[in-house]
Chains A and B, each alone.
Chain A
Amino acid sequence: MIYDADTWIGHWPYRRLPQTSAADLLRKMDSHGIEKALVGSLQGIFYKDSHEANRELARQIRRHRDRLVPCAILNPTYFGWAKDLKQCREEWAMPVLRLIPQYHPYKLTDDIASEIVAAAHELKMRVAVYGRVMDLRGRSHLDNSRQVPTEEIMAMFKKFRGASFMLLNSGAVKPLRGAKAPKIFQDTAVMHGGCGVTIEKGLKICTPDRLMFGSTMLLRYPKSALIALETVKATKAQKEKILYKNLKRLIPEMG
Chain B
Amino acid sequence: MRIDCHAHCSVSVGNWPSHHNVVADAKRLGVDKVCCSHPLDTKPTDPERIRAANDDIAAAMRAYPDVILGQCFIDPGNARFAQDEITRCVVDGGMIGLKFYHQYRMNDSVFHPVIERCAELGVPMLMHAGHPTDPAELATQPLISRADHFIAPARLYPEAIFIIGHIGGGGDWEWQIKAMRQAPKNVYMDTSGSVIDAGMIEKAVRDLGAERLLFATDMSTERGVGKILDADITQRQKEMIWSENFQRILQMRKV
Contact = CB atoms under 8 A, between A and B. Distances in A.
Contact of A224 (B21, B219, B225, B232): B225
B223 A224 contact: yes
Interface string A198-228: 0000000000000000000111111111111
B219 A194 contact: yes
Nearest to A193: B220
Question: What is the interface residue range for chain B against chain A?
Answer: 35 or more
A249 B29 CA distance: 31
Interface string B181-206: 00000000000001111111010000
B219 A217 contact: no
B226 A227 contact: yes
A138 B231 contact: no
Interface stretch (A15-23, A64-72, A84-92): A15-23
B115 interface: no
Given A196-B221, A196-B222, A221 B227 contact: yes
B28 interface: yes
A223 B226 contact: yes
B227 A224 contact: yes
B29 A137 contact: no
A193 B199 CA distance: 19
Given A194-B17, A196-B28, A221 B133 contact: no
Contacts of B199: 16-18
Interface string B144-176: 000000000000000000000000001111110
Contact of A138 (B22, B24, B131): B131
A112 interface: no
Nearest to B20: A195
Given A16-B199, A223-B229, A224-B227, A197 B21 contact: yes
Contacts of B222: 192-193, 196, 224-225, 227-228, 231
Interface residues of A, number: 31
A174 interface: no
A138 B227 contact: no
A138 B169 CA distance: 9
B134 A17 contact: no
A195 B18 CA distance: 9
B30 to A, nearest CB: 10
Contacts of B221: 193-196
B230 interface: yes
B32 interface: no
Which of B133, B137, B171, B223 neighbours the largest number of chain A CB atoms within 10 Å of its CB? Answer: B223
Contacts of B172: 138
14 contacts: A15-B174, A15-B197, A19-B198, A137-B137, A138-B133, A139-B133, A139-B134, A193-B223, A196-B28, A196-B222, A220-B198, A221-B196, A221-B230, A224-B196
**Shortest 10 CB-CB contacts between residues of A and residues of B:** A224-B226, A137-B170, A193-B220, A223-B226, A223-B230, A221-B230, A192-B222, A138-B172, A18-B199, A228-B222
